[in-house]
Amino acid sequence: MKRLGLLMMCVAALAMTSCSLFNAAASSNAVAQASGQTCGTAVQGLYSSYQKTGTVNLADATNLNNALAVASAYTNLKQNKDNKAYRQSFTNGLIASSAGLITSANATAFVDQLLASSGLANVNSQTITQTATTAMAIMTILNTLKQ
């Protein structure tokens, strides 16, 4: 009888552990998709401005906020670069929110370019307007989308 009780406790513990791992993975994917959606919306806004002016004017409040959103998404993606599920959910979010600018055909190239953008490292609201590196990094990413 004691063995049966011990076995039942082990099964219950295993079930609770696997459920918590599944919930953590699902939560991570939701966070990744939300980050991708925020990034996709920001990239669409930046690209529209970039097409009109040929540059990324970080003195413009909308561009500044969009650049911060892209930098934040870069940081999140960089922290999870080896997590295939995170990257796929992030990419799905990008595609869904970029108003057709990022498609399944160019999404991989865009995400690869985003990950390679060292100019977005350590960008935050205090440092973004102090450096041209941020604008150059954003323009390099946007050039991936030239149509």
pLDDT of 121:
83
Residue 79: exposure state from Cβ atoms within 10 A (0-12, 13-18, ≥19)? exposed
Structural domain includes residue 15: no
The chain-wide mean pLDDT, for the chain, equals: 79
d(CA 93, CA 80): 15
CA distances 100 to 1, 14, 15, 134, 140, Å, are 63, 44, 42, 25, 19
Residue whose entry in the numeric block shows the structure tokens 């991570």 = 28
Domain span holding position 75: 30-143
Query: pLDDT band at 129, cuts 50/70/90?
Result: low
Structural domain includes residue 137: yes
Residue 124 backbone dihedrals phi, psi, to 5 degrees: -145, 180
- Answering whether pTM is above 0.75, one says no
Structural domain includes residue 100: yes
Residue 13: exposure state from Cβ atoms within 10 A (0-12, 13-18, ≥19)? exposed
**What confidence tens digit (pLDDT) does each residue in 36-88 have?**
999 999 999 999 999 999 888 887 889 888 989 999 999 999 999 899 999 99
Number of domains in the chain: 1
Structural domain includes residue 138: yes
d(CA 128, CA 75): 14
